[in-house]
Structure 1
Amino acid sequence: MNTFIICASGPSLNKSDCELISGSGLPVIAVNSTWRAVPDCEYIYAGDLRWWDANIDVLPSSVSRWTCNYRAHKRYGLNLFDTDTRWAFNSGQRSILFAASQGAKNIILLGFDCSINGGSHWHGDHFGLDNPTAESVTRWRGEFANTARALTGKVNIINSSRQTALKCFRRLGLNEALREVAC
């Protein structure tokens, strides 16, 4: 498949968008707890060992589970996306690189708000885990910009998030993005 949809957990992610992509026939990568919004996703991607520790027992067994965290890979038998994690990163940013490694030529992003102005996540704060801060979302914007530069000319990345602070990806409404990648 050359088109992937990635759903992150920004507060702008909504039910109607999730229903639309579930019926699109395109593979969906859910970042962290967003698998709950898109239960028929093909992939769950999370880089945080503590998230896996807290969630492994409730995840659907039918979903392909991926991480860049070597300890999570070893502890839970997860698929390892072997990527350099010596520097700061976030699971949404790494899920884009993961999709590119799977041959994606088009990636549609949803829930990539990269801001805490509308709250922390579509599902509210994580309990006992880290939640976004003003400092972390500022850092993430730089990480996404680096990813955009690295994939320029290789992958068409469309940010269809309803709200976003990211300026590094082309913006397009979800329906229009789906039409574009269908051509």
Structure 2
Amino acid sequence: MIKREWAGETAVIIAGGPSLTVEDAVYCQGRARAVVVNDGYRIAPFADLLYAGDAAWWDGHQGAPSFAGQKWTQSKVAALRWSLRHIQSQHAYGISDSPERIHSGQNSGFQALNLTYLLGARRILLLGFDMQPTGGSRHWFGNHPPELHRDSNYAAWRGWFDIAAKQLVCRGVEVVNCSRETALTVFPRSTIQACL
């Protein structure tokens, strides 16, 4: 069960989109709670929390032993194998309000957003949420290795955020997309420097 450890706080979710820069990620340090998605721990090792949904990712990174913050996943297998915090994931539309589960959104960025909301953040800033190939790349670090590579269904992923955006507004949660390049247009846009 998730406790509202970050009630009322500002949090930044640092995802893997190719427009993410080291400067933007480092700017967050000490200014807000930070959540990194997948390989984001390499660019923002100071983050409070690392979220990765796939067991294969955790296996490929050997449980990310260099990361000192909280480690969360929806994978029971990965949680047991690498001593991670586990949160059940449900394939359902919108944001989960239950402290016992998140909704999948079919991608780790969405899952991290739901987790951050359940932790109590009332202002959530998004970085690296391109939701499109930018400059011909899928991620700031290049492509995942073949065992982790799968086709990115950006249009379907954006659809999950469409529903969640309306719910979050109704719940008094402000979400701002600070990604430098993005096809995710359901949230207001700004820069991380202006927001922090």
User: Which structure's residues are more often helix, by fraction?
Assistant: 1
Give the superposition deviation at 1:137: 1.2
Deviations 1:57-91 (A, max 9, x none): 54325221001122222222211122314765100
Matched, 1:18 2:35: no
Number of the residue aligned with 2:72: 66
Residues 105 and 111, structure 2, Cα contact 8 Å, conserved in 1: no
Number of the residue aligned with 2:133: 116
Give distance in 2, aligned partners of 1:161 and 1:127.
Answer: 24
Number of the residue aligned with 1:144: 161
Query: Using a 3 Å threshold, how does the CA distance of structure 1 residues 142 and 34 change in structure 2: closer, same or farther?
Result: same
Give distance in 1, aligned partners of 2:24 and 2:110.
Answer: 20
Q: Secondary structure at the match of 1:83?
A: strand
Number of the residue aligned with 2:36: 30
Give the superposition deviation at 1:145: 1.5
Number of the residue aligned with 1:164: 182
Q: Secondary structure at the match of 1:152?
A: helix
Alignment of 1:69-80 (within 5 A): 69-80=75-86
Give the superposition deviation at 1:23: 3.9
Q: Secondary structure at the match of 1:56?
A: coil
Alignment of 1:168-183 (within 5 A): 168-178=186-196
Task: Report how many residues are paired.
Answer: 176
Gaps of 5+ in 1: 179-183
Gaps of 5+ in 2: 1-5, 93-103
Matched, 1:6 2:13: yes
Give the superposition deviation at 1:176: 1.5
Query: Using a 3 Å threshold, how does the CA distance of structure 1 residues 21 and 144 change in structure 2: closer, same or farther?
Result: same
Alignment of 1:79-98 (within 5 A): 79-85=85-91, 89-98=106-115
Q: Secondary structure at the match of 2:90?
A: coil
Give the superposition deviation at 1:6: 0.3
Q: What value does the CA root-mean-square deviation take over the aligned residues?
A: 1.8
Could you tell me the TM-score, scaled by structure 1's length? 0.88
Could you tell me the TM-score, scaled by structure 2's length? 0.83
Which consecutive aligned stretches of 4+ in structure 1 deviate over 6 angstroms post-superposition? Answer: none
Give the superposition deviation at 1:31: 0.1
Aligned AA (2:177)? N
Give distance in 2, aligned partners of 1:93 and 1:3.
Answer: 17
